[in-house]
Amino acid sequence: MKLLTALASATLLTFSALPVLAQTPSTLRIGLQEDPDMLDPHKARTFVGRIVFKGLCDKLLDITPDLKLVPRLATEWSFSSDGLTLTMKLRTDAKFHDGDVFNAEAAKANIERARTMPDSLRKSELASVDSVETPDASTIVLKLKRPDATLLAQLTDRAGMMLAPKSLAGDVAAKPVCSGPYKFVERVQNDRIVLERFKEHWEAQNYHFDRILYRSIPDTTVRLANLRAGELDMLERLAPTDVKSAQSDKALKVAGIPNLGYQGITINTANGDAAKQPMGMDKRVRQALSLSIDRKVLSQVVFEGLYEPMIQPFNPGNPYVSADFPVPARDVAKAKALLKEAGVAKVSVELFVTNNPVDAQLGQVIQAMAAEAGIEIQIRSTEFASQLRDQQQGKFQMSRVGWSGRIDPDGNLHQFVTSKGNQNDGKYSNAEVDKLLDEARTVYDVAERKKRYDAAQKFLQDELPIVYLYNQTVFFALRSNISGFVISPDGMIRLSGLKRS
Amino acid sequence: MLALIGRRALIALPTLFLVSLFVFALQRALPGDPFLVIAGEERDPEVIARLREIYRMDDPVVVQFFAWLGQVVQGDFGRSLRTGEPVLALILQKLPVTLQLAIASIIVAIGIGIPAGIIAARRKDTVVDYSASALALSGLSIPNFWLGIMLILVVSVELKWLPASGYEPFFSNPKGAIERLIMPAFVLGSGLAAFLMRHTRSAMLEVLRSDYVRTARAKGLDEDAVVNRHALRNALVPIITLSTILFGELLGGAVLTEQVFTIPGFGKLIVDAVFNRDYGVVQGVVLCTAIGFILMNLLADVLYILVNPRLRAQ
């Protein structure tokens, strides 16, 4: 009997101690939607990877929530009058996690690696760089092949991240050595990435947690349950369907902001035989499709009305959004008239969607709306890797795709709609658009650039190689006791200033 | 016994070869291109070409297969296309996780299933039997995913008794490990327990009807002795087979349960790998699972001999 009592009380003790144990002081626990890929900024490709790099690696520049450039490792920067030389002044008090000092030589080694390593994914981002010079230890000069208005934006992300020069020869992804506010401790694939505060960081006083624990929890319901149970301090990409219930929970708070990307339907206009049908060949049919969709209702039905309707490739509030193209109201009569004008009373077309519940629902809503205008849509759903492959090979008529977005407008347009663009899967081609978008890349003045984007949009809104639908709002959920989180349209989690009260 | 093990090992070799051939061929038959996924959102054609070259993707499939097999024989499983980590290191990282969960789940399954089956058989056609069967049926029909999320919501979010998710290794942190194992092991184990219970019940009923049990009863042995000493031993043979098969399946990873409780085991690894067309990882994991299955079959054979003396003579 005594033994039983002892056992019972031991069990009780264990259980009562649990909630306390779950929280190690001064560790910020962040729930990610996916497991990041390689932790090497020059080889990495995932969105969640970028979130982890924000803690691990400093870059030359950063952006504010309203997309203004601010100094990080570079303190000042300027272009020469011909636009072919970018000179940057660098910090002198920054150190790498291995103790080495950050200087111009180190920056040069990184930029050279990013733009020349055979399997670097940063090559296209730094394609305009011709050579790198280091006149002194705190100055770096990039000589350009052509003026490049997108370059500074590239340097705010992975292309501008700095690895310790000594680590470059080894397996970087296995143990990344950067100069960010936190250093790498361990990684368990599909589970966790642990970082530890780097006390010698030049801005160490702004980072209040000793450790950062990133956990990958793909299921949104489970991720939220973990936050509610106190196993996480914050999570990224809260599902729109969970926003209301998270908001009503006093232990949590929710933050949201329109993200930089776009969501739409890419139409095959000239890629192989699949394009040879009314939707691919006649812009009036595409216009009819666009007019048949009620973007507000679509957002209501699928996203609780939390995503904003959008017909341009930029986020609402972006300086490059054109006032000439407001979201049109649904107009079935006009859509029917357009079809009639095109000489087709009924259109039958296939829509490719990724096989997840949200995309399937989205496809069905579009299907129902388009049917009323006389466009019959068959939905084909496959998983993402197959969709990508088929899309690139032209085995599609329409494909429901999204883009996570780039800071610079070029990143949301050029590669998708210029004739030789890597991601122009519908093979849309318009010499005028090519010329305007090529030019826009080389113009540094924002107002001048915008003129070119507006002019290009005039063609794109008329010919509709991509029918834009809505802009995603990126939601974060945090425990109420976490303060100092600054939300940004790039969906990143910047650790500076984050605190637990 | 040794001869048996040796014979089994010899049979295992062609099996493993066929399994790897099959998985290799199936994967290559899948639509989709891993390098389109790996090259990132930008899909730079130059990068794709370079990656294909590094991973020898432009060689004929047969050449690729034997190149891979040649490396495997030397203990090199290649690298993950997605993260660049060696596949063998990944497998060794996940194996203890999956093993721990599998052992905990099979303990739950056997601990509930076999006693419940015995009791149901002894009290055949009584309320006890019916309620055990009803429970078993519900255990079989409740989806793991749903049960897991419900448990997290009630036990972790509302009652705050157990941590909602994660993994701790048993040997370095037994308390943390057990806390994190209770719910997933129950979710996985309850379904298997139902299965085991049904089989134990019918095996027991069969044995209890046999002549020697009647004889045992006739000579005045009390019921406990009849059941435990005479009937159960014989009924165990099919149950052992079933348990080892179930355990072998658990070693392949429990995809849904691992997802719900975010346990970084084989299930999560292989699903991610399939979606990313991470060929090397899929092949490595499947090969390991196959080896696990073969070992389980061997274990079943050895256990038969231990419980059934007649097999020892053969």
Three-class HEC string of chain B: CHHHHHHHHHHHHHHHHHHHHHHHHHHHHCCCCHHHHHCCCCCCHHHHHHHHHHCCCCCCHHHHHHHHHHHHHCCCCCECCCCCCEHHHHHHHHHHHHHHHHHHHHHHHHHHHHHHHHHHHHCCCCHHHHHHHHHHHHHHHCCHHHHHHHHHHHHHHHCCCCCCCCCCCCCCCHHHHHHHHHHHHHHHHHHHHHHHHHHHHHHHHHHHCCHHHHHHHHCCCCHHHHHHHHHHHHHHHHHHHHHHHHHHHHHCCCHHHHHHCCCCCHHHHHHHHHHCCCHHHHHHHHHHHHHHHHHHHHHHHHHHHHHCHHHHHC
Of B32, B83, B165, the CB nearest to A222: B165
How far is the C-alpha of A212 from the C-alpha of A214, rounded, in Å?
6
A158: DSSP letter: G
Q: Which residues in chain B are closer than 8 Å to A119, comparing Cβ atoms?
A: 47, 50-51, 54
How far is residue B164 from each of residues A119, A242, A357, A498, B102, measured CA to CA in Å? 39, 18, 25, 24, 19
Query: How many CA within 13 A on the CB side of residue A233?
Result: 24
User: What SS3 class is residue A50?
Assistant: helix
How far is the C-alpha of A88 from the C-alpha of A82, rounded, in Å?
16
Tens of pLDDT along chain A (501 residues) come to 444 444 444 444 444 444 444 444 699 999 999 889 889 999 888 889 999 999 999 999 999 998 899 999 999 999 999 999 999 999 999 999 999 999 999 999 999 999 999 888 898 899 999 999 999 999 999 999 999 999 999 999 999 999 999 999 889 999 999 999 999 999 988 889 999 999 999 999 999 999 999 999 988 888 999 999 999 999 999 999 899 999 999 999 999 999 999 999 999 999 999 999 999 999 999 999 999 999 999 999 999 999 999 999 999 989 999 999 999 999 999 999 999 999 998 899 999 999 888 899 999 999 999 999 999 999 999 888 788 889 989 999 999 989 989 999 999 999 999 999 888 999 999 999 999 999 999 999 999 999 999 999 999 999 999 999 999 999 999 999 999 999 999 999 999 999 998
CA A168 from chain centre, in angstroms, equals 26
Q: Which residues in chain A are closer than 8 Å to B36, comparing Cβ atoms?
A: 385, 388-389, 392
Lowest mean pLDDT among A401-410, B42-51, B67-76, B199-208: B42-51
C-beta atoms of A15 and B32 within 8 A: no
ipTM above 0.95, yes or no: no
Percent of chain B with pLDDT strictly greater than 70: 99
Assign B313 a pLDDT band (cuts: 50, 70, 90).
Answer: low
How far is the C-alpha of B133 from the C-alpha of B116, rounded, in Å?
9
Assign B38 a pLDDT band (cuts: 50, 70, 90).
Answer: confident
Q: Which residues in chain A are closer than 8 Å to B96, comparing Cβ atoms?
A: none
C-beta atoms of A392 and B50 within 8 A: no
Instruction: Give the gap in angstroms from C-alpha A388 to the nearest C-alpha of chain B.
Output: 7
Residue of B nearest to A385 (CA): B32
B41 to chain A, any CB pair closer than 8 A? The answer is yes
How far is the C-alpha of A420 from the C-alpha of A186, rounded, in Å?
41
Q: Which amino acid is it at B143? A: P
pLDDT of residue A14: 45
C-beta atoms of A22 and B163 within 8 A: yes
Task: List helix spans (H) across A255-356.
Answer: 278-281, 283-292, 295-303, 332-341
* B201 pLDDT above the threshold of 50: yes
pLDDT of residue A51: 96
Q: Which residues in chain B are closer than 8 Å to A18, comparing Cβ atoms?
A: 160-163, 179
- Summarize pLDDT for B218-244 with one digit per residue, the tens: 888 888 888 888 888 888 888 888 888
Q: For an interface test with B, give the residue of A191, A387, A391 to mutate (most B CBs within 10 A).
A: A191
Of A279-288, B43-52, B198-207, which one has max mean pLDDT? Answer: A279-288
Across B167-193, average pLDDT:
90
- What is the pTM (predicted TM-score) of this model? 0.85
How far is residue A157 from each of residues A64, A181, A261, measured CA to CA in Å? 13, 15, 16
Contact between A74 and A88 under an 8 Å Cβ cutoff? The reply is: yes
Residue of A nearest to B261 (CA): A222
A330: DSSP letter: P
How far is the C-alpha of A55 from the C-alpha of A53, rounded, in Å?
5
